[in-house]
Structure 1
Amino acid sequence: MSVSIGAQIVEKFGPKADQPDILKKCEDLMELFGLTAEELFLKWETYVVTSSTIDDDMPLTANNLSRLQEYIQKKIVKDNQKTPSTNHVKRPVIRATPNVSMTNVLPSTPMSLKKRRKLETPYSSDTSHLRGSDDSSFITARSSSPIRSSDLESTPSGHGKSTQESGSILETLNRDVIELTDVKTEADTATKLRLVANFDPSKYKFRTMNQKLLEVADYLDDQIDTVAKIVLDHYHFDQSEFGNPNLQSQTGILTVGRIVPDSPLTEFDADLNSNSLFLETSRSGGIGQRICLDVKDLDDYSFFPGQIVCLRGINQTGDVFKVSHQYELPYLGAPVSTLDDLKAYQEQLSGENMKVVVTAGPYSPSRELNFDLLSKFVDRMNEEVHPNAIIMFGPFLDINHKQIRDGTLSFADLEREPKTLDEVFKMVIAPILRRLNCRQVIIIPSTKDATTDHAAYPQEMFDRKGLGLSKNFKCFPNPATFSLNEVLIGCSNNDIFRDLKDVNSGRYVGESRFNRVSEHVLEQRRFYPSFPGGIKRQRGSLLVAEDRQNQDELFLSGADLHVSYMGLTEFPDSLPDVLVIPSELKYFAKVVKNVLVINPGSFVKMNSNGTYALMNARPPVVEDLQKIGEDLYLNDIWKRARVDIVRS
């Protein structure tokens, strides 16, 4: 008779592990990393030996198991970086064809340096349904929330197919909002939604690899001054309370600045601590200087490099700014809709749910370029799910894929071999995607896509015609904000959940990392608030033959920030209803500050099936929505949407 997983865990870890929260966390780690109970116990023992002290033996708790997860992830990354490349055979490489048709429209004249570098994304002309509440009736996400974020955590599915079977539900958020029996799957229910893009495509057509240091400094400086004005207006501070934290003083002051590490040479992935935090000021607030922070008097804090903060404190010695209080940055208002729009959308759906599917690349196993799983997904969408809209994130052709990197692609089923990577997309991937019957498929690129010549974030959209996609495909930039009917959706294809590394204390220590990072994104009003951006590295031999004897690090595609245009990554006038940011970390769906935050996970996880997200949202019923003006209602998508994480 087989022994249950829980019994195996208790057998290895001892009776202290026989607690529901510890057993659940152990099972999650075993599933996440593909470990047996014995292997997990060995990793726990290694972690305890390396992390605990003689005077402080580390107990087996759910919080310590969460730290074990971070330890294992870091070890995997370091092991991958140390693994040398053994393939030294030079092969012909397939290269992407430059998009010549777009070259002539790229602006060659940079903006004036005196101009503010904040390139705000404008709304489209029809934005009555997206207006945020004004200051007089301002409702923040926190004040309007009747329940805590933790009350709406997604829970594992307890019914349906096996969790290893394609199409099975792994996790569900808001299970009670919509029952699966209430979700119709007939093809005629896939009503075309009203799609409104809230960005200016022309602003993303800037020249990459042309970043000027002065323009970068202007944007970073403007970022601090903008937040200082927001804080001043929100808290009604007196202007005289603000001062330069670098100057010695015997009185307390207010200051706004950016969190930075103690040395400019600090690696982006270094583990910071409370003693290595500095504050960088703007030119107007402190001549751009940096000052060491003393945060010992703060009970609760979560700081990360790039974070803009408002602090009260004192610098009595001239060397350290002792912080006594941190002021929370005000959140943007929630999206609202007019009464007429809500009634129109309700009639349009005829009482049926809005169904949106979200996927994120890669779409091929890492050992070979094969899109059979994507083909099966298309069949499932056409025959079973019938969504109103599909949002697909890249990479579709990952530039770091082994066969693309080595130039060993082979397509025996094609009449002729593709000569470029653009042709690979047109001849292999596009025919699969064109089979989708969905009326609206939104495509968002990745900086790792081999078929784009704009490998910087923010990122220009794909060329739909050049890739051979049909008219039901809409190519949007990265990041992008758009609305499907009344639902405002913010999408970013840059892994902030992996890259943001914070120093925390107090209530933040036991909080989920996904919750903390989501709160930072919403509070900072930016899709990617971390600075500098993350870098993926792999240790291996250099590709140049004469330098092969020298081992060096290969820099893979990371955050790839084009800083002077990072204004395009800021939220517009309100928070989104739904925030979608794919991550290499574990899939999830959460409600954070009344915003539905979704990480669909990778469609293909290494060489096995990954996950995607399916959102079902009930149509708006005016009587159930919160009225905040004469003719304005909060959308409250987080209250009427169910999100399922599904095995691809």
Structure 2
Amino acid sequence: MEGEIKAEFEKNGFILDNEEEILNKCLTFCINYKLNPSDLVSSWDVYSLNRKLKDLVVQNVEMEGFLSHLQNEQKEAVVKQEADLHFYSSKDVDMILNDDEENFKDAILSTPPGKNAKPYSDPFDSALYSNGNGYSSEKPSRLVTPFGRRTDKFVARFNFNNLPDTENGDEKDAGMDSEDDVIKRVKPLKRFSLVVNGDGPEPGCRFMYDRIEDRFNALDNRIRRRAASLFSSGIYEEPSDPSVASGRSIFAVGMICCEEEGRLNDKSIMLQSSIEHSGGQRVRLDLQKVNQFSVFPGQIVGVEGNNPSGYCLIASKLVDSVPLSANNVEDLHPAKRPALDQDIQLVDSSSPEKEISVLIASGPFTTTDNLYFEPLSELLAYARKKQPQLLILLGPFVDSEHPEVKKGTADRSFDEIFHIEIIRRVQDYVEHMGSNARVILVPSTRDANHDFVFPQPAFDIHPPELKHQNDLVLFVWFAQIKSLPNPGIFEANQVRVGCCTVDILKQLSGEELSRNPKDGSPPSDRMSRLASHILNQQRQLQHENIPESSFYPLYPPAEDVPLDFSLSPKALHIASPPPDILILPSDMKYFIKVLTLGGTTEGEEQRKCICINPGRLAKGEGGGTFAELDYGGSPDRMNASIWSI
């Protein structure tokens, strides 16, 4: 049989470095795992591609890693037959038998050097525990990765603390000594409500059927509704046609456009009004007299100014937001008050207080040098320790920009990677945390295993084999693990949360044209200003239940955004009231900002929204950042941190 193994290697172009010893080990592999020489060489071919071995020399030093690869293949074959089967490592047994908190922490959050001066402890065992069920990536034993070389596990990069730290007091620690080992590690979570907005497209929907007419009508409707909102506020007059020559000052509403291809500049700004007011014509917009502004293509604005020639509208004032407090309830017709009262009663004083603890992380969830998903394992281990009520994971999960995905060298399909490396780890996490833990998944247009369209339907995370599972497994899938469309809105404990995985902040940053105040006042914070563009136009019309804000106000969209106007038109809208928390993951630097909405006119109320960019959980070959938030009902009652992993 050794001769057959050697012949098979040579047939596939491989050269044996230490022939006798390698053939002896390969013979043992064939006997132990019931492989024929052809299957063995095929597995080596996959292993060498995953390890990115440049030459075709089979080296004896790789045999130990190859053994772990074969073991994982055998485990996955068993897993496919028995989905409920659990695998345990020696560290699992030690944690169960020994009441040692330090050993438990080391098993999850640290990788100390072992004997014989190994720079990294057995990574397979570490990943296996973090995964819980043992559905680990095919990470060879004793393999050092750049992610594993990091010295600091979790480092706080940013803190926003307005609440006293009562979670780590002596009373909590003292009460843990009398509990058994399992309860000691998993404290019961508070129950909370979770309501998901259903305006997004459904999984399996048809897309790429939008027409030019659909796009034009969608843009014109945005302009028309904004004009109606500004006029109904009672502050501004009825919009006029900005393309008509007039010596008097007028008020016009339209969309900012760029006259030519390329980035917006002060000489190429155009204003496109609605069909109702100007037949959809464009006119040049001059902002030289405006003290401060921030505009981008696709933004709907109100303009006060005059057009003496008919070719250029000279602006004296730019209105980019709609007053929140315009038209009080007392001014409504009596027939309209009952419907509004039904909405107001949602904030009745008898309702539970808004409180939520959440961890927020955005993909990629694995480093660029492998598909081991080590950062995700570390995040879930941290979540097991901190025990948040909600864990929000935002795509990409199987990143189409990952080198192995782009080259097609992965030995599994994208769906298999997603379900084995992501879903099964998350399932094990909620089983470990208990029935009150919740996880929300939001896809990304960069997900290789999902529809490339925006707005994007939710993941279909419920495999067909679940139909034959018991009620407990079904509860875990359907009640504890939720998938939202992209963008999506949900309410947790009456805390309204909006999220969008398209990098709108980076795209707005590349298209925005702004001017700082000329009077010497300090300039506005740039990241807050970019995030405010999503919400500062928020207001709901009295006579039409139509939301005004958009998760993606930029038009034309960026080249990598497959925007489809015909797909669920309401999916991009942010319905009133504005969210308490807005999650906008971006490649730009992480931040946590408190945005102030309203207050631009005298007597207008102000509302606050927390905007969070958690950063990316994995950056290159190292770890990235994620966000932790304890929200007590308002920005004045919250603790927020950005953690580096």
TM-score of the superposition, structure 2-length normalised? Answer: 0.62
Displacement, 1:511? Answer: 2.3
Q: Which of the residues 597, 601, 604 maps onto 2:611?
A: 597
Superposition deviation, residue 390 in structure 1: 0.6
Report what 1:389 is aligned to.
390
Give the alignment partner of residue 510 of structure 1, picking from 495, 505, 523: 523
- Residue identity matched to 1:445: P
1:463 aligns with 2:473: no
Does the alignment pair 1:174 with 2:198? no
**1:13 maps to which residue?**
none
Give ranges in structure 1 of 5+ residues lacking alignment.
1-86, 88-162, 411-417, 536-557, 619-635
Native 8 Å contact 1:612 1:647 kept in 2: yes
- Given residue 533 of structure 1, which amino acid in structure 2 is its aligned partner? P
Which amino acid is 1:520 matched to? H
In structure 2, do the counterparts of structure 1 residues 164 and 510 end up closer, same or farther at CA, with 3 Å as the change threshold? farther
Q: Does 1:645 align with 2:642?
A: yes
2:621 matched to 1:607? yes
The gaps in structure 2 that reach 5 residues or longer are 1-53, 55-149, 174-184, 327-339, 467-475, 538-548, 597-607
Distance 1:226 1:465, change over 3 A: same
Question: In structure 2, what is the Cα distance between the partners aligned to 1:513 and 1:177?
Answer: 30
Tell me the distance in 2 between the aligned counterparts of 1:341 and 1:390. 28
Q: Tell me by how many angstroms 1:354 deviates.
A: 2.8
Distance in 1 between the 2:241 and 2:201 partners? 39
Q: Would the alpha carbon gap of residues 432 and 333 (structure 1) be closer, same or farther in structure 2, given more than 3 Å must change?
A: farther
Deviation per residue, 1:123-168 (Å, 9 max, x gap): xxxxxxxxxxxxxxxxxxxxxxxxxxxxxxxxxxxxxxxx972222
Alignment pair present for 1:492 and 2:500? yes
Distance, in Å, in 1 between the alignment partners of 2:527 and 2:292 is: 17
User: Quick one: distance in 1 between partners of 2:395 and 2:256?
Assistant: 31
Pairwise CA distance, 1:337: 7.7
Residues 370 and 461 (structure 1), Cα distance of their counterparts in 2 relative to 1, 3 Å cut? same
Alpha-carbon deviation of 1:235? 2.9
- Indicate the residue corresponding to 2:359 in structure 1: 357
The reply to whether residue 421 of structure 1 matches residue 414 of structure 2 is yes
Which residue is 2:406 aligned to? Answer: 405
Aligned in 2, Cα 1:421/1:614: closer, same or farther, shift over 3 Å?
same
- Following superposition, the deviation at residue 381 of structure 1 comes to 1.3
- Contact map agreement 2:423 2:461 (CA 8 A) in 1: no
Q: Does the alignment pair 1:572 with 2:564?
A: no
Q: What is the CA–CA distance in structure 2 between the aligned matches of 1:171 and 1:488, rounded to whole Å?
A: 23
Q: Residues 480 and 340 (structure 1 numbering): CA distance in 2 closer, same or farther, change over 3 Å?
A: closer
| Counterpart among 424, 430, 433 of residue 431 in structure 1 | 424
Once the two structures are superposed, the pairs formed by residues 57-456 of structure 1 within 5 Å of their partners are 165-176=152-163, 178=165, 181=168, 187-201=186-200, 206-239=205-238, 242-263=239-260, 266-267=261-262, 270=263, 272-332=264-324, 343=350, 345-346=352-353, 354-382=356-384, 384-410=385-411, 418=412, 420-437=413-430, 438=433, 439-452=437-450, 454-456=451-453
CA distance 1:332–1:394, shift in 2 (3 Å): farther
Change (3 A) 1:277 1:191: same
Is the partner of 1:443 in helix, strand or coil?
strand
Alpha carbons 1:333, 1:574 under 8 Å: kept = no
CA separation of 1:328/1:300 partners in 2, compared to 1, >3 Å: closer, same or farther?
same
Task: Give the Cα separation in 2 of the matches to 1:339 and 1:237.
Answer: 31
CA–CA distance in structure 1, aligned partners of residues 572 and 203 of structure 2: 11
Return the offset for 1:253. Answer: 1.4
The answer to whether the Cα contact below 8 Å between 2:359 and 2:383 also exists between their aligned partners in 1 is: no
Question: Bigger relative contact order, structure 1 or 2, given CA contacts below 8 A and separation 6+?
Answer: 1
| Matched residue type, 2:454 | Y
Q: CA 1:312 to 1:497, structure 2 compared with 1: closer, same or farther past 3 Å?
A: same
Distance 2:448 2:492 in 1: 29
Structure 1 match to 2:31: none
Counterpart Cα distance in 2 of 1:526 and 1:223: 10
- Report SS of the residue matched to 1:325: strand
Q: CA deviation at 1:178?
A: 4.5
Letter in 2 for 1:326: L
Q: Deviation digits for residues 520-564 of structure 1, max 9, x if unmatched?
A: 1111321121111223xxxxxxxxxxxxxxxxxxxxxx2221134
Q: Offset of 1:510 from its aligned partner?
A: 2.9
Structure 1 counterpart of 2:381, which letter? D
- How far does residue 499 in structure 1 lie from its aligned partner after superposition? 0.3
Q: 1:451-474: per-residue Cα shift (whole Å, max 9, x none)?
A: 11x211111000011398834210
Correspondence 1:530 to 2:554: yes
Cα distance in 2, alignment partners of residues 470 and 359 from structure 1:
20
**Structure 2 equivalent of residue 51 of structure 1:** none
Q: 1:434 to 1:582 in 2, by over 3 A?
A: same
Distance 1:337 1:190, change over 3 A: farther
Q: 1:203 to 1:314 in 2, by over 3 A?
A: farther
Distance 1:179 1:296 in 2: 53
Q: 2:361 and 2:349 mapped to 1: Cα distance?
A: 28
* 1:224 partner SS: helix
Identity %: 27
Cα distance in structure 1, aligned partners of 2:364 and 2:401: 10
Between the aligned partners of 2:415 and 2:394, the Cα distance in structure 1 is 17
RMSD: 2.8
SS at match of 2:247: coil
* Contact 1:298–1:325, Cα closer than 8 Å, also in 2: yes
Taking a change above 3 Å as real, the CA distance of residues 342 and 173 of structure 1, as seen in their structure-2 partners, is farther
1:564-606 residue CA offsets vs partner (Å, 9 max, x unmatched): 4453211112110111111111110010111011011101012
Q: In structure 2, do the counterparts of structure 1 residues 405 and 333 end up closer, same or farther at CA, with 3 Å as the change threshold? A: farther
The alpha-carbon deviation at position 639 of structure 1 amounts to 1.6
Structure 1 position 238, deviation (Å): 4.1
Q: Secondary structure at the match of 1:280?
A: strand
Letter in 2 for 1:423: E
Say which of 496, 520, 530 aligns to 2:533: 520
Cα deviation 1:444-499 (Å, max 9, x = unaligned): 000111111x2111110000113988342101111111111121111111111100
Q: Answer yes or no: is the 8 Å Cα contact 2:498–2:582 preserved in 1.
A: yes
Question: Which deviates more, 420-429 or 334-343?
Answer: 334-343
Question: Any idea what SS the aligned residue of 2:248 has?
Answer: coil
8 Å Cα contact 1:198/1:482 also seen in 2: yes
Counterpart in 1 of 2:586? 583
Give the number of the structure whose alpha-carbon radius of gyration is greater: 2
